[in-house]
Every structure is written in structure tokens, then in C-alpha cells.
Structure 1
């Protein structure tokens, strides 16, 4: 019998999120073998959907015999973004700082944050905890890593389809507002770009009504996603500051020395900054030092800058100093007390 003709059905759609596991990890994802990972992943999706503000897609799990037996890898739109090894019959002991003494076990790393850790036998758990270690089971290790990566890659997971679903949900309670937004005021592609811009800087899109209000208000003046993102950020100022500083009465901030501010303003073209390499390196170093000082004080690291350089500076430091928040003066609510911690020169 001749094999059937090829058809377009041969092309499988690529999953937005994938998890591939080596053969020793299969019991972790198999409910029949007591695997808890599926339930953990569902919990991660539920929490992130509420936190970030759009439905996190299902995670497609499959075994991959090309991986080493204890390895797994995470994929976003079919592209591997992280890989790690775990020991399914052991538990991971992490030192949160101040743990006493060493543990017997297999040295390893916490996959999500790269901290040194030790894989111990389950019976060592109580002893490790009594010494000040935090101990987590393998399913939690993978789920935490996945959660971290979904947050990091959120802008890539929010596309046209997802934004249409978001707007359809909002239209149930605010039909006129959504009707005024797209396609009347803005093409959908611009709305998508603005929401992605917010996610790139770790701002959740769950305040969708406020975001749409700002877009409807500013669309007559500009269709440029960067300009519109700045307008949306200003309207979300109170929310952004709370995401950074929680409920604390004061917001600790660094400012730029006037001369540096001027250099940045002169070197900003569109969304980018063209700084000579030596200056860019010194700026990165100064900002990284600020973050280090703030972390030692257990406070957020925030630099406050004029609106016209905010987007460009944020882009410049996004990967080199990821825990730094770059805010424009206009984004800070008038009733928020600022505490000037230092000036960057």
C-alpha cells in the first residue's frame, strides 16, 4: 500500500512553551508514578497569569532521549532558552545566607538564580534545615526555574492573539473603551508593541483598563509605540512605584549628575543611546555599584531621570544591570516621598 501523500498537516504548530526531560526525569512528569511536576506547573501558570496579567500558555512536556538522563531544557517558541541537571531521587539544599557548616552531597547550582547548592539525600533534610539551609524537592526546582523564565520571556509570549483575547475580556465590562481603541484609534500591532514594551521592563499588564484609557487619550497625538509607552507609564506611575517599593512610605532614588544628564540627552537618538565605549562602561559600573549598595541595605535600586532619556537609558542597562529600575520624574506620584540616596556622575 502506497504511503499517503504529504499534506500541510505535517507541519506541527510550535508550542509557545516547552519542557523536554531526560529519561530519569520521566517519573517527575508522570502522574501514574507519583510525579508532582504537572500540578506544580499548573500552579505556576495560575500565579503568573494573575501576576503578569495575561493567560500564560500551557507547557508542552515531552521526553528527549538526546538529553543526558538527569537533564531538562526549557523552550520558548521552539528555541531552547535554558538547560539544567537535577537529581530526581535527591533534594536541593540552598544557603539563603548564614547557614552553618557544609553538607555531604553532590555540589550543584540552583538553576533559576545560579546560586551554589548541594543535592542531599531526603533523610538529610531535617539536619540541613536545622543548620539554616532551605531544602526544596526536584519538582519545585524545575517549577521555580520555569516561573523565572516565563517572567523573563513574557514579552515573547504576548502576541496578537493574546492581546485580542485580553481586549475581548475587557470589552465585556468596557465595550465602548475597547471600540474606541482599535482599530479606531490605533492598529492592533501598535497596542501589542506597547504591551510588550511594558513587559520588557517587568511591568505587568494586568492594569489593562488604565493602559487602554491612556492609549485612547494619547493616540490622537502619536502612533509611535515608544511615545505611547511613555504616556502609559506615566498614567501607571503609582502602580509602577508600588511594584518596585511595595507599601514603604519613601522611595529611595539615585539621580544623574547634571553633566551626565546632558551627555545622555545629547547622545539619545530615538530609542538608543550612542555613548563612547569608555563612558558607557563607566556608567554601567557606577549603576552596578548603586544596585550593590541598595541590595546591601535591602532596598530597591531606582535611578530617576528626565523623560526624554528614560527609555534609552533603561534599554542600555536592561541586561547589564537587570535589577535597576529607571523611572522618569513624571512617573513618580506627587504625594510619594523621595529619599535621595546618591548622585551618579
Structure 2
């Protein structure tokens, strides 16, 4: 047993060399004369190989399980043709071609070589006209449909990958499988031509052998004309049958293989399952045959016997169908009872909400189709990387799907299933925006840029080139959507940061900096408390990428106070360079506006501690005046070309930010402790309500 296993392993290791040697040997059969005994062996081997190939196709459940078939078809065709040449050499040279050919000729001809010739021609025509043409057409249509469906299937794979339903390895496997399927049907379309050529060659060889053998028998061997014709016809027909039978088996296998695209199991199981699914058809067929069997001129006993078999089969199948139906009803009743008992478990799926998703109208589907030039899926992956690099947040795969209820050109961005932003795009157009405020006339469709609500125009063709030359900013549809999404992610980053995301981020830190994590979690703080601090930072668009510094600042501050507001201020002081760097001007200066000391004192005295943190409680009229004054000062500073930042004391900063964030969400509020000593500060405005 061990020796046999070792031999099998060695043969498997050198299978490529063995197969290459066999193919070369097939070519040599055309050149080297074969003795009749060896020819008999190869002919039986050819028939056995054809039989095995056909049986394999019957036990496959999908075409790709036998993807080597097109190449195998070529090799087997070459093998049969080489045997045809070798047998022709023996028939014409010696008047004999071994026992296999002679036996086939005698058995089929049966003393009448005209009947044998007709049988051979019928077999060849069946193979050539019916089986080969049909399987070739099926392969051609399968290849065409597979290629046409590739863009949609690839888009579906990319959508499943972006939504997190499959991994990158699974997506890569599905893409490779899709490509292999298209290549297989294309190869089968071409390989069917081998079988067609083989049939034509068989007919030509038949004529050559009969005519050539007749001439050689009469002229060279001195045989009577009738005997020569009989002998060489029998040998030729036997040779043709020995060659055409394996060819017929393999062409039948080709037809079976290319028509198995919709099968669910093996060939035999599919036939038994689908035939037994229609007992009424068996009943009707039995009745019809019974009526025909009563006609006196018919073979009554034979037809009535078949009718009886059909009626008996119908009765058995009907009984089985009723039994299965009863079992199914019982199973459904049991399942319903179990479902009723486990009803709270069945509703759990309704609580699963995607953190972030984009719904698009029908006309925007082309943006996701790579075959039409759409690159939205790749852009979404880039957005996730950008959020990780800039903000330090982990954005889950973004689900994108079409919504027929939306307008054709509309899209909707949802967070936790609730729409937070929307807009419209025009595929085939570009969005042009005028940063200079020019009064330029051109053919464009007026619209509003969805991210910052700026006036814009949809342009195409020559208008695009014209507005670009006049200083307009021009972007494509995917860029508009991606820019809007990026801004939404920055605005709602604190809502997307859940405890699971915090845990995964901390696990990354723990790999290289375990000390700070082990000191802080879980003895001093929980994941939820750290999450609140990180959310406070993201709410004011402070990057949390430097988690080591953030966790160390929390660990230093938590010994004094576990209040999230206090810890947030501690972290902001540790991230002072990161925070102020985002607001520095061209000359490295920090342009700020300040609160009047009296106003700041009033705000500080009005601060009260609530369940949501410290908040200044001021009269509504005072708040309205304050907001109006801040708007005036901010607009004045913006007109000077500066990016204003409001500067106040550490105690006032966070409560004051909470007071104005609903009305001025983009105004940054910094405290004196958050500005490094080497940063030059220039105050160009003061807010006062007196």
C-alpha cells in the first residue's frame, strides 16, 4: 500500500511532464507505423477515454468543474485523427487493421456493406449537424451573455464588498470565477469547431479508404472486384465506426457540459427530480397511450404495457407528492409554533441599521459602473482612507444602493437610517463654480453646489473649456458627491464613532503602546467614558489620529477629575499644535477675535452645570444680540481675507462653544491654553453687546 501511494504521488508530481510526453506521442503516431495489436489497444483506449469524459460531464454540477474540457477536446480529436491515419496505413498497405476494426465492420455490416455505409453516414451526420452545431450555438450564446452580464455582476460584487457583505478575498475569487466562466464559454465556442472538422475528416477518410482499397486490391493484390470492394468496405466502415463512436461520446459530453448552466445537481439527479415533479403529465400520457393502444391496427400489447407503466408511475408520484405536502405542512406548523415562541428573537434583524449609506436615483447608477467609466466605488474607498489619515476615525464600508423612490438624478446621504444631506447630479455634465464672482454668460444649467450651497452651473463640452479658461472651478459628478460626503463625515464624525470603533482603535494603539492602554483601561476609565471624550473632540473637528497623546492626557487628567468636559480640555491642551496648525494664516499668524472682558465675565457668571455639561444660561434677548454681533465681526474679518478664530479663557471656552454651535457651527473657539508659545497671535476684532 505504501509503495502504491508513493507511486501515485510521484506520478502526480510529474504529471505535467507525463501529459506533455503523451501529446508528443500522439503526434508521433501519425509518422510511426503501428502493428495491428498496438492499434487495437489504442482504439480501445480512445473509446474508453470518450466514455469516461461523457460520464464526468454527467456528474458535474457546473461547467467550471471541468474547465479543462476545451483543451481536452483538441487533444482527443488529434488522438482519433492520428489513429485514423495509422489504421488507413494498415488497411491500404496490408489489407487488415486488427481485430477491433474487423469486428466492428463485420458486426455492423452483417453481410451488407451498403447498410454499413448508410449507418456510418447517419452517425456522422447526427454528430456533425445535430450535436456539434447545437453545442457550438449554446456555447456561443453562453459566451455572449456572460460577457454582456459581466459589468453588472462586477458592480454587484463591488457593492457587496463596499457594504461589508463579503471580504476582499471573496470578492477577488468571485471576479476570477466570473472571468473564468466567460473564458470557458468562449473556448467551448471555438473547441466545437474541432469536432465538426473531425466529422468532415471521417467522411473524407471513408471515401479514400474505400476507393484506394478497391484499386489496391484489384490492381496490386489481384483480387476480384466484388471481393476487393467487400473486404475494404468492411474494414473502412469498421475503422470509421471505431473513430466516430468516441467522437460521438465526446461531442455529446460537450453538449451536456455547456447546457448545465442552470443545473442544481448532477445530470441524473436533475432528470429524476424534474421528471418526478409532474405526476399529472404521466397520468395524461398513460391515458393517451391507452386510447391509442385500443386501435386494432396498432401493436396493442406493447402500447398498453407502456401506458400501464406510465399510469403506475403517476400513481406512485401522486402518493409521494401528497406525503411530501403533508410533511411540509407539519414542518411549517412546527416552525410556526417555534417562531411564535421565539418571536422576540425574530425581530432582532430590524434593529440592524447601517451607520452610513448613500441612496442614488436610477440615472446615477452609471457612476458605480466601471464599464461605463464610473469610479464612485473607488472614490468611496479613498474617502475612508482620507478620514483615517486626516481625522483618525474608522469609517465602516459605505453601503450604496439605488432607490426608485428618489428622483432620477437625486442622491441621499443617511446616517443610522436618517437622511442628513441630499443633492442632485447630472451624469454627462460637469459642475462649474465661480470663485471670482464674474458676470460671465455661457450655456449652463443653474444649480446650487450641495456641499456649501454656492451658486453653480452644470456645463458640458465646449462650455466646460470656456469656463475653465475664465477661472471657474469645474468638477465631475463623482467629485461633487464625494466632496459632499467628506464634509458630512467631518460634520457627523462624532455620531459614527461608537464603542466598537473605539475598541478597535485602542486595540491598534495597544499593539505598540500597551503601557498607556493597560494603565487607563479598565481600572481608571471605561470604553464609554473614553468614547465621550473622543466624540467631544470630533464634534469640534479636532483629529483623534494621535491616540497615544490623547490617552496619555486622559490618564494624567483622570486622577483629578473624571468629568468628560474637563478631560476634553486636558486633551485639547496636549493637542495644541495640532489644533492651531489648522487655523494659521499664510505668514504663520493666528488671526483671532476676542470677547470683551465684561461680556466674558457675564458669560462665566451665567455658567451652570447641567446633565449635559456646563452651559451658560443667558436671557434670550442677550443671546440674540450676542449672535448678531459675532456675525458682524466674523463677516468683517472674513472680508479682510482672514480665517477668524474666537479666543477666550479656558473656563468659558466649552460652555460658550455649546451656546453658539447651533447657529455658528463652523466658527472655531479656542482657549488661551490651546495656543503654543511660539505662535504669533493677532487680534483683529472684539465682540461686545454694550
TM-score band by shorter chain is over 0.9
For 1:155, what is the secondary structure of its paired residue?
helix
Match of 1:161 among 486, 493, 500: 500
1:85 aligns with 2:424: yes
**Contact 1:100–1:131 (8 Å) recurs in 2:** no
Unaligned runs of 5+ in 2: 1-327, 340-345
Q: Structure 2: how far apart are the matches of 1:116 and 1:273? A: 37
CA deviation map 1:92-133 (0-9, x unaligned): 111112445122121111111111111112342111111221
Match of 1:152 in 2: 491
TM-score normalised per structure 1 = 0.95
For 2:454 and 2:544, locate their aligned partners in 1 and report how far apart those are by CA, in whole Å.
30
Aligned counterpart for 2:634 among listed residues 288, 291, 315 = 291
Give the superposition deviation at 1:247: 7.1
Counterparts of 1:231 and 1:333, CA distance in 2: 14
Is 1:273 the counterpart of 2:616? The answer is yes
Question: Residue 41 in 1 paired to residue 380 in 2?
Answer: yes
Question: Residue 235 of structure 1 corresponds to which residue in structure 2?
Answer: 574
Shift in Å, 1:319? 2.7
Q: What are the Cα deviations for residues 53-74 of structure 1, in whole angstroms up to 9, with x where unaligned?
A: 0222211011100111111100
Q: Give 1:260's match in structure 2, choosing from 590, 599, 604.
A: 599
The CA deviation at 1:9 is 6.7
Q: Does 1:121 align with 2:121?
A: no
User: In the alignment, does 2:399 pair up with 1:60?
Assistant: yes
What is the aligned length? 345
- Cα displacement string for residues 24-52 of structure 1 (whole angstroms, at most 9, x for unaligned residues): 11111222333111111111221121000
The answer to whether residue 536 in structure 2 is matched with residue 197 in structure 1 is: yes
CA distance in 1, matches of 2:586, 2:477: 34
**What RMSD over aligned residues (CA atoms) do the two structures have, in Å?**
1.8
Supply the distance in 2 between the matched residues of 1:112 and 1:290 (Cα, whole angstroms).
24
The more displaced of 276-285 and 30-39 is: 30-39
Equivalent pair of 2:606/2:617 in contact (CA under 8 Å)? yes
Distance 2:511 2:381 in 1: 26
Find the counterpart in structure 2 of residue 320 from structure 1: 663
Alpha-carbon distance in 2 for matches of 1:182, 1:103:
62
2:60 aligns with: none
Q: CA deviation at 1:317?
A: 1.5
Cα distance in 1, alignment partners of residues 408 and 667 from structure 2? 38
Matching of residue 329 in structure 1 with residue 672 in structure 2? yes
Moved more, 90-99 or 244-253: 244-253
The answer to whether the Cα contact below 8 Å between 2:585 and 2:591 also exists between their aligned partners in 1 is: no
- Partner-residue secondary structure (3-state), 2:544: coil
More helix by share: 2
Of 513, 520, 543, 1:181 maps to: 520
The change in CA–CA distance for 1:275 and 1:252 in structure 2 (over 3 A counts) is same
- The 2-side partners of 1:226 and 1:141 are apart by 36
d(CA) in 2 for partners of 1:255 and 1:68? 46
Q: How far 1:344 sits from its partner (Å)?
A: 1.4
C-alpha separation in 1, matches of 2:596 and 2:585: 27
User: Does the CA-based 8 Å contact 1:99-1:132 persist in structure 2?
Assistant: no
Residue in 2 that maps onto 1:309: 652
Q: Point out the more displaced range, 51-60 or 193-202.
A: 51-60
Distance change (3 Å), C-alpha of 1:128 and 1:247:
closer
* C-alpha contact 1:291 1:323 (8 A) present in aligned 2: no
**Shift of the alpha carbon at 1:10?**
4.3
1:104: which partner in 2? 443
Unpaired runs of at least 5, structure 1: none
Quote how far apart the aligned CAs of 1:342 are: 2.3
The alpha-carbon deviation at position 255 of structure 1 amounts to 1.8
| CA distance in 2: counterparts of 1:146 and 1:342, whole angstroms | 34
TM-score scaled by length of structure 2? 0.48
SS in 2 for 1:97: coil
Relative to structure 1, the CA distance from residue 28 to residue 283 in structure 2 (aligned partners, 3 Å threshold; closer, same or farther) is same
Structure number with greater CO (CA < 8 Å, separation at least 6) is 1
- Kept in 2, the 8 Å contact 1:301–1:323? The answer is no
Please say if residues 310 and 328 of structure 1, whose CA atoms lie closer than 8 Å, have aligned partners that are also in contact. Answer: yes
Question: Of the candidates 618, 643, 649, which is equivalent to residue 300 of structure 1?
Answer: 643
* C-alpha separation in 2, matches of 1:223 and 1:331: 20
Distance 1:306 1:12, change over 3 A: closer
Contact 1:98 1:132 in 2 (8 A): no
Of 319-328 and 76-85, more deviation after overlay is shown by 319-328
More strand, by proportion: 1
Which residue is 1:139 aligned to? 478
Deviation track 1:315-338 (CA, whole Å, cap 9, x = no partner) reads: 111131223211111111122222
Aligned mates of 1:98, 1:56 — CA distance in 2: 36
Q: Is the 8 A contact 1:125 1:135 kept in 2?
A: yes
How many angstroms does 1:12 deviate by?
6.6
For residues 165 and 10 of structure 1, what CA distance do their matches in structure 2 show? 24
Larger Rg: 1 or 2?
2
